[in-house]
Amino acid sequence: MTTLAITINGRALHPTDVRDDLTMNDFLREYLGMTGTKFGCGAAQCLSCAVIVDNPDGTSYTSPTCIVSAASFDGKAIRTVEGHAKNGELSALQKAFIDHFAFQCGYCTAGFLNEAQVLLERLAKKPVARIELEKTIAEALDGHICRCTGYIKYHEAVRDVILADPKRYLV
């Protein structure tokens, strides 16, 4: 057993004892009832289970949750799809996903959303030239699998959010 202390969507959870063989995905979905994070392939290949991990230095990255232990998240701060909307208002990315009808079944959406959010935050710190944008978005979303083939729509939605605030994301 490991005593897991973790911050999720800005809220520090009361330290919880978890079995060392418990996956992070099961911890979120079964223990906490946070079912926005999906369980897809179970092999970190579709990334529908990806959450955002926030580093102390302000950078962030996505991590699959289906193949890693909950215990390995001890001391970390993460964000899940449930944490994107603020005060009941969807984030710019969420709105863009809807505007573009980027998802159909929605199973992969949480993963794409988290990945795109990490990209936005990365670009805000380290903007890219407009000419690099398409490649940057494609590389960021690469690895996320959508069986409804919403790739282009996801890509366009992310691009729209970036182009709506070029001073922030582009050089």
Partner 1 sequence: MTMKSDMRFLILASVAAFAMGMLTSYAASQTASNTLASPESFASIADTDARSAAIFTELGKVLTHPRCVNCHPAGDRPRQGDESRLHQPPVERGVDGHGAETMRCSICHQNANFEPGRVPGHPEWHLAPREMAWQDQTLAEICAQIKDPARNGGRKVEDLIHHIGTDTLVGWAWHPGFGRARAPGTQKEAGALVDAWVKTGTVCPPG
Contact 160, 96 (CB under 8 A): yes
**By rule CB under 8 A, what count of residues binds partner 1?**
21
Instruction: Considering only the stretches 2-10, 29-37, 60-68, 96-104, report the one whose residues sit in contact with partner 1 under the rule CB under 8 A.
Output: 60-68
Helix 92-99 × helix 151-163 angle, to 10°: 130
- One of 8, 18, 47, 162 touching partner 1 (CB under 8 A): 47
Q: How many angstroms separate the CA atoms of 102 and 88, rounded?
A: 21
- One of 5, 22, 34, 128 touching partner 1 (CB under 8 A): 22
Examine residue 114 and tell whether it contacts partner 1 (CB under 8 A).
Answer: no
- One of 4, 28, 66, 137 touching partner 1 (CB under 8 A): 66
Q: How many angstroms separate the CA atoms of 25 and 171, rounded?
A: 37
Compute the radius of gyration of the chain from its Cα atoms: 16
Examine residue 101 and tell whether it contacts partner 1 (CB under 8 A).
Answer: no
Min dist CB 49 to partner 1, Å, is: 11
